[in-house]
Copies of this chain bind each other. A is one copy, B any other.
């Protein structure tokens, strides 16, 4: 590892995780990492204090951070977490967007998103893998494991939606992605996430047909409006195999209405926002009606969490016949403890990630998710420049995560890597989150809104000696809608770390599968029984 500034390698690793998150910032000057609001530190003062605190932190001490601002350092013990965080948690009746923004204005709070506030963000690989994972789950369930020869139609190539073309390509499919803004299309081509683009539907379909015939993957950008391009495809009798959407329907002021350019929409947004929203809702209704027609005609259709069903339903469309991806495709994975897990090389050397990737490929031949994804990711994912840290995301199940971390810790001890490896999991994980309108919608026992689970997950992480534990709640428009917990555990090669890593990562997914087993999922109950953990059914 390069020159160490902290009093131990685990503190140094956390400092680098913070710097890495800032490296990926959408608006670095405002410390905003993504989603227009999710921050890694409350303000610049808090950031420099945090860096100072990490540098003076001893291994038997704990740094406490409240909504992005360091509070103090406590004597805690050698197997205590180095850093504990709680971010934007508000008492229920006060958990509103208005109160959140008021407290933010006063400098008392920030929102941490799922990975920004706790220094776990690794850049666009996360969303790329998540999108790939969802499409893979669709392929597994409906198309025998591959999207080869299958047409995926979607829209929106923005900050998150931009991952769709490459994800579909990696899953073997042919994607047509409708995007209203030519600038966004250009950016995706530049980054290599999109192969080529056109504003001609004929041309897009011709390119698609050619690749579909050869069962070869393709990613095609179609400049246009989803509310017009999708109905135009339907008018030709076309029925795609898979349909979803990532237009910004969570906020209709940013959904471009049919017949307008993004520039015209922006003007109307400034001059008459109500009129813009009215038109956008009309367009979204048409957009969703087309999705419903395709669903009735046999296509696999799902919402990707942008709330477009609720928008269309508000103007009379029977949109909730469309399932949401989380319940339909991700929850079955959570029931087995499978969720987005990451490994980050503190050394900054991409070769360290290769070492871990090799271990994953060798040790988990039966894990279809990581087994398929890791080779693809090695080929397609560009690692960031320093001070960004090379990283890999891969969905590993209960048991696999603990085993990998222990193996990597041994490899670090042997000197096979140039530095420690930080393991983190997303707040979006089996035990990590309660969000009744998304991750925990429609739980079979009705426990959607019970947030005991992520809190227990965090307490267990802290008790078993994770390096960093964070409890987040929703900020901005998400205030009052979610509770989540994140964790980072570091393989620094120390002997003591073996037991710690094993305990943290066993408990972490163990409580997750028990949460779903307790809610009534049989696959989760099976996973718990196979785990050998003591469970009180």
Contacts and interface: CB of A to CB of B under 8 A. Distances in A.
Nearest to A66: B452
B464 A76 contact: yes
A340 interface: no
Interface in A453-470: 453, 455-456, 458-460, 462-465, 469
Contacts of A533: 72-74
A268 interface: no
A311 interface: no
A73 B450 CA distance: 20
Contact of A445 (B56, B88, B108, B446): B108
A536 B72 contact: yes
Interface in A431-476: 434-436, 445-453, 455-456, 458-460, 462-465, 469, 471, 473-474
Nearest to A52: B536
A517 to B, nearest CB: 9
A449 B499 contact: no
Nearest to A106: B446
Interface stretch (A149-157, A276-284, A477-485): A477-485
A76 B503 contact: yes
Given A79-B79, A455-B471, A459-B458, A73 B445 contact: no
A99 interface: yes
Contacts of A463: 62, 76-77, 80-81, 84, 462-463, 465, 469
Contacts of A486: none
Interface in A93-136: 93-96, 99, 102-103, 106, 108-109
Interface stretch (A11-19, A223-231, A320-328, A506-514): A506-514
B479 A92 contact: yes
A94 B49 contact: no
B436 A75 contact: no
A80 B465 contact: yes
A267 to B, nearest CB: 35
B86 A456 contact: yes
Nearest to A480: B92
Contacts of A499: 77
A219 to B, nearest CB: 37
A414 interface: no
Of residues A70, A94, A102, which shows the largest number of chain B Cβ atoms within 10 Å of its Cβ? A94
Contact of A74 (B69, B93, B460): B460
A71 interface: yes
Given A108-B445, A463-B84, A74 B536 contact: no
Contact of A481 (B76, B92, B447): B92
A477 to B, nearest CB: 12
A300 B446 CA distance: 49
A74 B464 contact: yes
Contacts of A451: 86, 89-91, 473
A53 interface: yes
A84 B103 CA distance: 31
A111 B106 CA distance: 33
A88 B453 CA distance: 10
A535 B464 contact: no
A451 B99 CA distance: 13
A503 B81 CA distance: 13
Contacts of A473: 92, 451
A91 B464 contact: no
Interface in A494-532: 499-500, 502-503, 506-507, 510-511, 514, 518, 528
A53 to B, nearest CB: 7
B480 A72 contact: no
Given A66-B453, A95-B93, A536-B53, A446 B72 contact: no
A447 B105 CA distance: 12
B471 A459 contact: yes
Given A49-B536, A449-B99, A499-B77, A91 B510 contact: no
A64 interface: yes
A74 B506 contact: yes
25 contacts: A62-B460, A64-B511, A71-B456, A71-B511, A71-B536, A72-B510, A73-B533, A73-B534, A74-B506, A74-B510, A77-B500, A84-B456, A86-B455, A86-B456, A89-B452, A89-B455, A90-B92, A91-B482, A92-B94, A92-B473, A103-B446, A109-B450, A451-B473, A459-B471, A463-B469
Given A91-B481, A92-B474, 10 more contacts: A56-B534, A62-B507, A71-B511, A73-B533, A75-B503, A76-B460, A84-B459, A91-B449, A106-B446, A109-B450
